[in-house]
Structure 1
Amino acid sequence: MKKLIIGGLSAMFFFVASPINAQDNDKVNYSKEELKFSKVDASPMDLALYRDQDDAAVARVIYSRPQKRNREIFGKLVPYGEVWRTGANEATEVTLYKDMKVADATVKAGNYTLYTIPGEKEWTVILNSKTNTWGSYEYTDKEDQVRINVPVRQAPNTIESLSMAFQEAKNGADLLIGWDNSYVKVPFKNAN
C-alpha cells in the first residue's frame, strides 16, 4: 500500500514537473525563431446564433464588440444619421440559413452585411448584399435587400460592450442590438 502511494506521488511529481521541462525545451528549440502572435483585439469578435425548436441553425450574426470606456456613444462616437457598420473593424455579417421575413420583406437564405443608421428615437436597420467589407466605406444603398426602422429602447442598465443576442419571439426571433444605455429589436420571422 505504501508503495502505491509513493508511486502515485512520484508519478504526480513527474507529470507536474514535465510541463516545466517542456517549456524550457521549447525556449531552447525556438530561441533562434521568435513566435509572434497578435495581441487580443480591443474590440473582440463575437457571434449570436438563433436556433429553432429542432435545434437547427436559422440565423447567425458575427460582429466585433467595441467597448464604451466612459465615452459618449450615440450622437458622438457613433454619429446620428450616418451609416454605421454596427460594430468595429469588419462590417457585421448576418447569415440566414433559410428564407426569413424581416418586417414585411422576405429575405432569401444567404450572407448579408448588417448596417444601421442610428438616430435618437429610431434606427434604420439595413441588410445589404455586399459582403466581406471593412467598416462602412463600401456601403451603397443599391445593394440593400431590406431597410426598416425600429424604435430605440432604454436599456435597464449600461451595456459596456456592444452586444447582440437573439430573443425568441412569436413565429421567429428578435435580434437585440444594445450598447451604452439603449437597444433596438430587429424582428426575424419564419417566411412560411
Structure 2
Amino acid sequence: MKKHLTLLLLILAFQVSFTGWVKAQLTSLPRGGNKRATVSEEIGITDVMIRYNRPGVKKREGHIWGELIPVGYTELGYGAKKPAPWRAGANENTTIEFTTDVKIEGYDLPAGKYGFFVAYDPGECTLIFSKNSTSWGNFFYDPAEDALRVTVKPIKTDKSVEWLKYEFTDQTPESATIQLQWEKLVIPFKVEVDVIATQIASFRKELRGDKALPESWEAWNQAAAYCAQNKTNLPQALMWADSATSVTFGGTESFYAWQTKASILEQLGRGTEAADVMKKAMPFASQIQAYTYAAGLVDAKKPKEAFEIFKMNYDKHPNSLFTNIGMASGYSALGDYKKALTFAQKALLQAKGGNKLLIEKNVRDLQNGKDMND
C-alpha cells in the first residue's frame, strides 16, 4: 500500500510539472511567417515608438488592398463581435507610444500608448488611436475606447514594398510624417510637437528632482538660458536665473549664469538692472567671453558700452589676439579708424588660418576708411 501511495504521488507531481511546462510559452517566430519590428524617433524631446508585426506580400500583389485588407470595417465573428478596422500590421496589436502630448494631423492627442488601427478606403483612410493597447489584434476592438480618429488620403506608388513597414519622413525639429508602407500603397500621417512647451514642462519637472540639488547651478542656468534664447516663460526663467546665481546653487562666480540673468532682465524691459548684473558678471569672464559679449554690444549698436568691455578685457589680458582685435573693433565702432588700425595690425601678426584671412580684411577696411564691424 505504501509503495502504491508513493507511486501515485510521483505521478501527480509529474502531471503538475508537465502541465506547467506545457503552458509555458517559449520564444518563437511570429505566426504566419511575419516579422516583429520596432521603429522609433525623437521629435524634440518626445519619443515616438511603434511596435508592430510585418506581414509580407508573398506573391499577392494586386490582392492586398480591398481584398486581404478589406474596405472599412469587418465583422470578425470572434472577440467583441463588432465591426473592426484593420490592425495596421499582423498578429498582435500595432501600438504607438508618445512620451509627451502631440498633434496628429492637427488634432490633440495626450501622451500615452495607443492601439493603432486603420479603416482602409481607397479614397480616404480613417486612422484610429485606441486607449486599449493590450488586446490581441483587432478582435476586441471597441469604438468606445477610441482616443482619436483622423482621416488621411492614401498614396499609390509604383514601387512595391514586400514587408509592411513604418517609416519617419519629412522630419523637422517640430514634426515628422509617419508612413505606413506596404505593397504599392502609403498611408501617411503627420505628428507635431510643441517643442518649446514640452521642453519647458520637462525643465519644470526635472528642477523638482535630484538635478536641482545644491551646487547644481548649471541645471538652473540651462533652463533659464533656454527661455531667454526662445524669448518665452521669462518670469519663471528669471526665478531660475536667480537660483543659478545664488550661493545655494553655486553660480555666483559664473559669467554665463549672470549673463543669462541679464538677458532675461533686458527682455523684460528692465535694462538698468540688466546693466548692473553684467557689471557683476564681468570679473568672472574669460577673455573670450568678454570679447564675445562686447562684440554683441557692437552688433546691438552700443559702441560706448562695447568699448568699455574691450578696454577692460585688454587691461586684464594685454596684447593677446582676442584683446587686440577687440580693441580694434571697439575703436572702429567709435569711428577712430586710425587707432583701430594699430590694434588690427598687431592682431594680424598673431593670427593664423581663417582668423588671419578675416583680420586681413579688417585691416583693408580700416585702411580704406571703413568700419571693420560692417
- Which TM-score bucket, shorter chain as reference? 0.7 to 0.9
Is the 1:49–1:57 contact (alpha carbons within 8 Å) kept by the matching residues of 2? Answer: no
Structure 1 residue runs of 4 or more that deviate by more than 6 Å after TM superposition: none
- 1:38-77 to structure 2, matched below 5 A, reads 39-41=28-30, 42-52=33-43, 56-71=45-60, 72-77=63-68
Number of the residue aligned with 2:164? 162
Is 2:171 aligned against 1:180? Answer: no
Amino acid at match of 2:29: V
The offset of 1:169, in angstroms, is 3.5
Normalised by the length of structure 2, the TM-score is 0.40
Amino acid at match of 1:73: I
The offset of 1:122, in angstroms, is 1.8
Number of the residue aligned with 1:80? 71
Aligned residues: 155
Amino acid at match of 2:98: L
Higher relative contact order (CA 8 A, sep 6+): 1
The offset of 1:85, in angstroms, is 0.5
The offset of 1:99, in angstroms, is 0.7
Q: Paired residue for 2:97, among 95, 98, 119?
A: 95
SS in 2 for 1:161: strand
Is the 1:90–1:134 contact (alpha carbons within 8 Å) kept by the matching residues of 2? Answer: yes
Deviations 1:39-75 (A, max 9, x none): 533111101212135xx45210000000000111111
Larger radius of gyration: 2
The offset of 1:154, in angstroms, is 1.5
The offset of 1:168, in angstroms, is 3.6
Number of the residue aligned with 2:340? none
Q: Whose helix proportion is higher, 1 or 2? A: 2
The offset of 1:109, in angstroms, is 1.0
Q: What is the aligned-residue RMSD (CA, Å)?
A: 1.8
Counterpart Cα distance in 2 of 1:102 and 1:43 = 28
Counterpart Cα distance in 1 of 2:171 and 2:46 = 16
Number of the residue aligned with 1:136? 138
The offset of 1:117, in angstroms, is 0.4
SS in 2 for 1:69: coil
Is the 2:71–2:120 contact (alpha carbons within 8 Å) kept by the matching residues of 1? Answer: yes
SS in 2 for 1:114: strand
Unaligned runs of 5+ in 1: 1-35
Amino acid at match of 1:121: G
Amino acid at match of 1:105: Y
Number of the residue aligned with 1:110? 112
Unaligned runs of 5+ in 2: 1-24, 74-84, 198-374
Is the 2:43–2:193 contact (alpha carbons within 8 Å) kept by the matching residues of 1? Answer: no
Is the 2:46–2:193 contact (alpha carbons within 8 Å) kept by the matching residues of 1? Answer: no
Deviations 1:151-192 (A, max 9, x none): 110124001011101124453111100111110111110145
Identity percentage over the alignment? 23
The offset of 1:149, in angstroms, is 0.7
